[in-house]
């Protein structure tokens, strides 16, 4: 009976540790996403351009984090500026980041 109780305590302890690890990774992803979004909003060329950054941190720390950048920009220059900002900000926070580029260039039509 004592062995069963001990086994249950070990299982609960492992579950709590895994939950805490997942929560920390999610917090890390939120921080990374917020920092990148702030950096994009500070650039004058990208003012008013709908670009969204979504970060996912892996469960295991040794795996790289992934940042998906999506939205529409008016020119190739704006696209390159956005990617440059994301790369610079992401590498400053975490060196092993993979960036998924989903930015479309959609020129604005003059009215």
pLDDT of residue 10: 96
Q: CATH code for 22-105?
A: 3.30.70.1350
- Region of 108 (left: φ > 0; alpha: ψ -120 to 50; beta: rest) is beta
Strand partners, 27: none
Q: What is the value of pTM for the model shown?
A: 0.76
pLDDT of residue 110: 47
Calculate Rg over the CA atoms of the chain.
20
User: What values do phi and psi take at 67, rounded to 5?
Assistant: -120, 120
Average pLDDT over residues 53-75: 87
Q: What is the pLDDT of residues 76-104, one digit of tens each?
A: 999 999 999 999 998 888 888 899 999 99
53's CB contacts (< 8 A; 6+ apart) are 33, 36, 37, 40, 67, 68, 69, 86
pLDDT at 61 over 90: no
pLDDT of residue 69: 94
Could you state, in order of their start, the residue ranges of all structural domains in the chain? 22-105
With bands split at pLDDT 50, 70 and 90, how would you rate the model's confidence at 111?
very low
């Amino acid at each position: 009976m004592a062995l069963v109780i001990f086994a249950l305590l070990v299982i609960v302890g492992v579950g709590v540790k895994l939950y805490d690890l997942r929560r920390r990774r999610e917090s890390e992803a939120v921080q990374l996403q917020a920092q990148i979004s702030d950096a994009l909003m500070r650039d004058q060329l990208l003012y008013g351009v709908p670009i969204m950054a979504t970060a996912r941190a892996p469960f295991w720390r040794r795996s790289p984090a992934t940042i998906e950048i999506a939205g529409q920009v008016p020119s190739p220059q704006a696209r390159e500026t956005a990617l440059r900002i994301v790369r610079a900000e992401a590498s400053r926070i975490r060196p092993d980041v993979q960036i998924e580029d989903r930015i479309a260039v959609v020129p604005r039509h003059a009215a």
